[in-house]
Amino acid sequence: MLKFSRHAGWFVVVLLTVHMVVALSAQSIGIDPTQLAKAKAGDAESQLLVGRAYEKKQNYTQAVFWIRKAAESGNVEAQCKLGHLYSAGHGVPQNNNLAAIWWRRAADQGNANAQSSLGLAYINGDGVPTDFAKAAFWLQRSAEQGDAHGQALLSMLYEVGWGVPKDDAQAVFWLRKAAEQGDLAAQEHLLQLLKK
């Protein structure tokens, strides 16, 4: 019994030391230990926040670990972010198929960023077959929610007639929306379209 007590005491010391090191390393990268505890307890919003903190410090392995947990719990923003991490190959091997799968999950739930990313994937054939009609569908949904990237891409589709009828008025309309949000490329392209 005495041996067990001695070992149990050392075990507690080691456990507390490990806990302090984890808490200090989390604090050193700007993670609130309370937030980390919530993330470990399964809180999806906290998992996303912890993942983003790791991403900011370019610790993509830990970022993916926490963001994936949040995404798998159904956090829409985390699903979109995980798609971006797969697309860029940050913390995971670059994989456009998995990027499109995660964007689709978030897009189906109304995430405008995921909708525009999925729309662009359909334009480029990244992880999904090239399909301009599907691209237009997702970009329309994104643009209507005010996503500047989606608006600029939808404008391009109207300008060239990919997946939608060619329509210069719609092209200018959506490009103007993106330009009004400060999208510099949209502002420059809008000037060119208006000069025609």
Closest alpha carbon to 39 in 23, 28, 24? 23
Question: Taking the CB of residue 168, how many other CB atoms lie within 10 A of it?
Answer: 11
Left if phi > 0, otherwise alpha if psi is -120 to 50, otherwise beta: which for 126? beta
- 26 pLDDT band, cuts 50/70/90, is low
Average of per-residue pLDDT across 130-140: 98
Least confident piece of the model among 11-20, 51-60, 112-121:
11-20
User: What digits encode the pLDDT tens for the residues 47-90?
Assistant: 999 999 999 999 999 999 999 999 999 999 999 999 999 999 99
CA–CA distance, 85 with 62 (Å, rounded to integer):
12
Average of per-residue pLDDT across 147-174: 97
- 193 pLDDT band, cuts 50/70/90, is confident
Predicted model pTM: 0.83
Residue 3 has pLDDT above 60, yes or no: no
Average of per-residue pLDDT across 170-186: 95
State how far the alpha carbon of 54 is from the alpha carbons of 31, 71, 120, in Å: 8, 16, 27
Least confident piece of the model among 1-10, 37-46, 139-148:
1-10
Q: Which long-range CB contacts under 8 A does 102-106 form with residues at least 24 apart?
A: 102/71, 103/79, 105/71, 105/76, 105/79, 106/76, 106/77, 106/79, 106/80
What pLDDT is recorded for position 32? 87
Collapsing DSSP to helix, strand or coil, 106 comes out as: helix
